[in-house]
Chain A
Amino acid sequence: MDWARAMPIAGLTGGLLIGLAGAVMLLGLGRIAGVSGMVARATGIAPTGAPRATAAAFILGLPIGALLITLFAGPVQTRFPTSLAALVIGGLIVGLGTRMGSGCTSGHGVCGLSRLSPRSIAATATFMVSGFATVALLRLAGVTW
């Protein structure tokens, strides 16, 4: 384990902010703070769901919130895959999979797990196992970061 690089305190406090965001959406608007669904709704890819203005405002808030952290708390590290193929293939599969599976880490992982939703528990267990397996298989194939 890499405790030297791990950020347990920042992880917990950042997680609290994310949970708070989910609570604002649920108690304020009666909706799940699911990013994949909101992206699909904001772009019009999803025909139904949250009002587009709501979805667009939520999605717009994500980069602005991240920007505020860089402005007031200092630089934020972002180490992306250097391979263009990894970004494009990864993005395609994430888009396809999250729409098929009705959610991602935020909707199923944060909002659904805390709701003890059987569907979200199954979805989260599935994408976690699948993510671990994918990275392990890529490592076996010699693809590491």
Chain B
Amino acid sequence: MVIKRAFIALIAGLLFGAGLAHSGMSDPARVHAFLDMSGGAWDPTLAFVMGGAIGPMAIAWLIRRRLERPLADTRFSLPETTGMTPALIGGSALFGIGWGIAGLCPGPAVADLAIAPLPAAIFVVAMLGGMVLQRIVPAIPSRLSSEISHV
């Protein structure tokens, strides 16, 4: 089962990475151009990507209601949907700042390791550093302990 689940995850990762590269989202300058509304050359592509991705995903959530368990596991392991916490909002605000500075979020950064290895690796290593920081600095609020979230 471990191999089967890893294989399914690999297929999902492949589709995800292919989608990022095909949609232009692996290009930090294009993402930056979406976030740059005042530059006179706003690039709406990211909005089409979000729209395209939310379609199949919304259908998947509908199908999920009819399933007692996922096809290749014993139960659904899904995060809570309610509970606004300072960490959720503060963390998301921070994430947006980094996204705006570099034009990169985690998915494209990891996918780009195959296309532009050096700058992607620099970003990814720094990102891992930020993740470790969140883990080890006690003053930084973390997620609700009751959450099973790993979004």
Contacts and interface: CB of A to CB of B under 8 A. Distances in A.
Q: Do A and B bind each other?
A: yes
Contacts of B53: 15-16, 18-19, 22, 110, 114
Interface residue range, chain A: 35 or more
A30 B51 contact: no
Contacts of B126: 87-92, 95
A94 B115 contact: no
B15 to A, nearest CB: 4
Interface residue range, chain B: 35 or more
Interface of B: 2, 5-30, 32-33, 35-39, 41-61, 63-64, 67, 69-73, 75-84, 87-107, 109-116, 119-120, 122-135, 140-143, 147-151
Interface of A: 1-2, 5-8, 10-41, 43, 45-46, 48-51, 53-70, 73, 76-81, 84, 86-120, 122-124, 126-136, 138-139, 144-145
30 contacts: A6-B43, A6-B44, A18-B20, A23-B57, A27-B63, A28-B73, A29-B8, A32-B79, A39-B106, A45-B132, A62-B20, A63-B114, A73-B22, A78-B116, A80-B104, A81-B101, A81-B102, A89-B126, A90-B101, A90-B104, A91-B124, A102-B79, A102-B91, A108-B151, A112-B81, A119-B88, A124-B92, A130-B94, A139-B36, A145-B36
